[in-house]
Amino acid sequence: MREIGIEQLADIARGAGILGTGGGGDPYVGLLLAREAVRRHGPVTVVDIDEVPADATVVPISSMGAPTVLLEKLPSGREEINALRALEAVLGRPATHLVPIEIGGVNSMIPLAAAAQTGLPIVDGDAMGRAFPEAQMVLPGLIGVSNSPMALADDKGNTIVVRAVDNTEAERIARAVCVERGCQISCADTVLRGDQLRDGLVPATLTLAENLGRVVREAHAAHRDPVAEARELLGGVHLSAGKVVDVERRTEGGFARGRARLEGEGAVLELDFQNEHLLARRDGRVVATTPDLICVLDTETGEPVTTEGLRYGLRVTVLAAPCDPRWLSPAGLALTGPRYFGYDLDHHPLSG
Amino acid sequence: MREIGIEQLADIARGAGILGTGGGGDPYVGLLLAREAVRRHGPVTVVDIDEVPADATVVPISSMGAPTVLLEKLPSGREEINALRALEAVLGRPATHLVPIEIGGVNSMIPLAAAAQTGLPIVDGDAMGRAFPEAQMVLPGLIGVSNSPMALADDKGNTIVVRAVDNTEAERIARAVCVERGCQISCADTVLRGDQLRDGLVPATLTLAENLGRVVREAHAAHRDPVAEARELLGGVHLSAGKVVDVERRTEGGFARGRARLEGEGAVLELDFQNEHLLARRDGRVVATTPDLICVLDTETGEPVTTEGLRYGLRVTVLAAPCDPRWLSPAGLALTGPRYFGYDLDHHPLSG
């Protein structure tokens, strides 16, 4: 058990931004939300997975939508709490802990803000070990945990509770509501008991995000290579470094979809994304795929570059890092592998 | 208190089809649904408004969507019951009575089918006195009754409960879910206490539908003029009789929208519709508008012609009949008048 105060938030947001593989929302937006909540309500208590009682009610809180929209339509903090309260009402019991559903710039900070607001402890971990674009892409789904009831809340005070026959149906219904509500909605879903956390979460990812964010900050301040130090910490591989020469982007179906092209090191690197990076090709050859992490960092500062932040002229370095091994199981790949996203290819193993 | 058995259903479906002003779903589809339920479960008990105890929990059951889609994607009966049960679960009490939300070919029959299935009595009345395209267009809205919680159920077993800040927000959210679920979803919402029925319902519209359906059937069988007898019973006016020469139709935003053109009696009659008929123009001049009833009947048989059933060559007669007077109040017109639907004109008073 430890506390997260104002001073840790920037590192967590930066690190989570890198782990978010381009998605999960802009780290700066996430930082603003969490900073305001912690300033107003005080620090957040963080507990490790093995500190959580077996009968605890652990609730992931997140924001669903297109990160391109999130930049202009910030959650107020009220809708996350509305989603939480709507979920608690149908559960018939209060949440005892909050947890991020994913590690990403905004979606790791929203639960911190909600934890500050509610006084609930937050669990050090998340349900993906990265960010993924769709609600059913969570480790709890692999152990039979339902994402229903799923509580949604918009910025106007409306709440919606979805009870779906499977996790993908819940995603589809929630996404339709999300799109109609302006491509941004807050969610509370995929409730875990304390004794499900070991199988349902990637442990200690808030700590990993904080370490990663600190390493990058310190390396940059000391004029070392922040990207190299981040890669080392993640056990990742270098895919390419260069200049963004083209970005094609559309906000579609409640997602930010598109493709970016980088030139550098005598090669062309192409990145396909749906909120998160899905696929990297170097000179037309696939070099990394979902569910591995494809991370884009500012080459000079090591700051994460989200898919909605990609723009012509940016100097970036692209890394790939191994995902949680459970995603490489047949069931994990069925949920998050390249074929789910319509690519006719298998997961590409990373080579260092 | 009386019973509705198989033998009354066809008349009710026909009459409700006429009162549905082109919307509310195809009467034949409605008849099939109700007939099957009554055949299987027995007759339905119908009670008058003043027979309902003050503390009764009266639940409207309906189908939302585009009638063009309903023709091919029939409710199974299961989803209406799922919506009812989901609503009861959040209300924390069971329904004591069912009621149609609107009088229309399918939407007056679905509650009859659900009443047969559940054994609950049905109240003789409805919340519109006709059919309207959107969920907030109900008399209970004029007396401050919320349509939240609104329970929705699809054909796959998924349920969604919406709690909105106002009735129009609930409609928007539900419509988005409806569209994503294939433009057809079942609803239980706008719960009334027994002592709210007098202000919240148009009384005795199931009986009116049955009488209207019988009058038309008997007049046709006796080689009298079924349309004239229907007009007389409704206190309506004749707008035109002729041949459908053009129909422009699109399924859009969860509605069937379009325009039809009739030629006859030396004039051109144009009808604009959004599920229901909104506006009638004769030779370019407005002759009837929502919220008055604009009813299209087969000239020979008097059978109702729904907006999705309009097609080239049909010989039809168009009537207009006065709506419930509460719709002509400023609040009523704000909900259902021509300006709500984007027309820059006031309600056109009917003249006989």
Measured in angstroms, the CA of A169 and the nearest CA of chain B are apart by 8
Measured between alpha carbons, how far is B293 from B61 in angstroms, rounded to an integer?
Answer: 22
- Beta bridge partners, B186, equal B63, B153
DSSP labels for B220-281?
HHTTS-HHHHHHHHHT-EEEEEEEEEEEEEEEETTEEEEEEEEEETTEEEEEEEESEEEEEE
Task: For residue B313, give Cα distances in angstroms to A151, B25, B63, B225, B243.
Answer: 50, 21, 30, 20, 6
Which residues neighbour A268 within 8 Å (Cβ) at sequence distance 6 or greater? A261, A262, A282, A283, A284
Sequence spans of domains, chain A? 2-203, 224-336
Cross-sheet strand order for the sheet of B315-321: B285-289, B276-282, B267-274, B255-264, B237-252, B315-321, B293-298
Predicted pLDDT of residue B352: 53
Say whether residue A217 is in contact with chain B using an 8 A CB cutoff: no
**Distance (Å) from the alpha carbon of B36 to chain A's nearest alpha carbon:** 27
CATH code for the part of the protein at B2-203: 3.40.1610.10
* Residue of chain B nearest A165, judged by CA positions: B158
Q: Backbone phi, then psi, for A149, in 5-degree steps?
A: -65, 140
Q: Tell me the C-alpha to C-alpha distance, in Å, between residue B114 and each of A172, A293, B204, B293.
A: 28, 51, 19, 27
**Quick one: tokens of B107?**
């939407």
B159 contact partners, CB below 8 Å, separation of at least 6: A162, A163, B82, B83, B86, B151, B152, B153
- Identify the pLDDT of residue A352: 53
Main-chain phi, psi angles of B293, to 5 degrees: -80, 125
Chain A residues within an 8 Å CB radius of B161: 90, 160-161, 163
Q: For B340, phi and psi rounded to 5 degrees?
A: -60, -35
Q: At what angle do helices A78-91 and A109-118 cross, to 10 degrees?
A: 70
The 3-class SS string of A299-328 reads: CCCCCECCHHHCCCCCEEEEEEECCCHHHH
Put simply, the answer to whether A177 touches B173 (Cβ < 8 Å) is: yes
Interface test with B, best of A146, A173, A183, A184 (most B CBs within 10 A): A173
List, as one string, the DSSP characters of B164-207: -SSHHHHHHHHHHHHHHTTSEEEEE---EEGGGHHHHSEETHHH
Q: What dihedral angle (degrees, nearest 10) is formed by the CA atoms of B122, B126, B131, B132?
A: -120
Peptide bond into B133 cis (omega under 30): no
Chain position carrying tokens 């089918």: B113
* Distance between first and last Cα of chain B: 35
Element (H, E) at B218: helix B205-221
**Distance from C-alpha of B24 to C-alpha of A315, rounded to nearest angstrom:** 59
Radius of gyration of chain A (CA): 19
Give the C-alpha separation, B111 to B317, whole Å. 29
Q: How is domain A224-336 classified at the CATH fold level?
A: CV3147-like (2.40.390)
> Which residues of chain B are within 8 Å of residue A90 when distances are taken between CB atoms?
90, 161
Q: Which residues pair with B315 in a beta bridge?
A: B243
Of the candidates A157, A165, A181, the beta carbon closest to that of B158 is on: A165
pLDDT along chain A (352 residues), means of 10: 95 97 90 95 98 98 84 82 97 98 92 96 98 96 98 96 97 95 94 98 98 98 98 97 95 89 97 95 97 98 94 97 98 97 95 64
SS3 of chain B: helix, strand, coil, percent, to 5 = 35, 30, 35
Structure tokens at B130: 């006709």
- For residues A253 and A263, is the Cβ–Cβ distance under 8 A? no
Q: Which of B167, B177, B183, B187 to mutate to test the interface with A (most CBs of A within 10 A)?
A: B177
d(CA B28, CA B205): 19
CB B16 within 8 Å of CB B24: yes
Residuewise pLDDT in 10s, chain B (352 residues): 999 999 999 999 999 999 999 998 888 988 999 999 999 999 999 999 999 999 999 999 999 987 777 777 777 779 999 999 999 999 999 999 999 999 988 999 999 999 999 999 999 999 999 999 999 999 999 999 999 999 999 999 999 999 999 999 999 999 999 999 988 899 999 999 999 999 999 999 999 999 999 999 999 999 999 999 999 999 999 999 999 999 999 988 888 899 999 999 999 999 999 999 999 999 999 999 999 999 999 999 999 999 989 999 999 999 999 999 999 999 999 999 999 999 999 999 997 5
**Beta-carbon separation of B173 and A181 below 8 A:** yes
pLDDT on residue B70:
77
Q: In sequence order, what are the residues at sequence separation of 6 or more whose Cβ sits closer than 8 angstroms to the Cβ of residue A313?
A: A243, A244
DSSP letter assigned to residue B101: S
DSSP-derived pairing of the beta strands B97-100 and B2-4 = unpaired
**Contact call for B177 and A176, based on CB within 8 A:** yes
Quote the CA–CA distance of B150 and B136 in Å, as a whole number.
11
Which residues are CB-neighbours of A81 under 8 A, at least 6 positions away?
A: A114, A117, A118
How close, in Å, is residue B214 to chain A by CA atoms?
A: 42
Q: What are phi and psi of A131, to 5 degrees?
A: -115, 145
Using a 10 angstrom Cβ sphere, with 0-12 exposed, 13-18 middle and 19 or more buried, the burial of residue B128 is: buried
pLDDT the model gives residue B75: 76
B227-336 CATH: 2.40.390.10
Quick check: A177 and B176 CB within 8 A?
Answer: yes
Q: B-contacting residues of A 179-198, CB under 8 Å?
A: 179-181
Other C-beta atoms lying within 10 Å of the C-beta of residue B249: 16
Query: Taking every pair of C-alpha atoms in chain A, what is the biggest distance, in angstroms?
Result: 59
User: Considering only CB atoms, which chain A residues are within 8 Å of B179?
Assistant: 176
Helices (H), chain A: 6-19, 27-41, 67-70, 78-91, 109-118, 139-142, 167-180, 197-200, 205-221, 226-234, 330-336
* Per-state percent for chain A, helix, strand, coil, to nearest 5: 35, 30, 35
Nearest to A159 among B157, B163, B181 (CB): B163
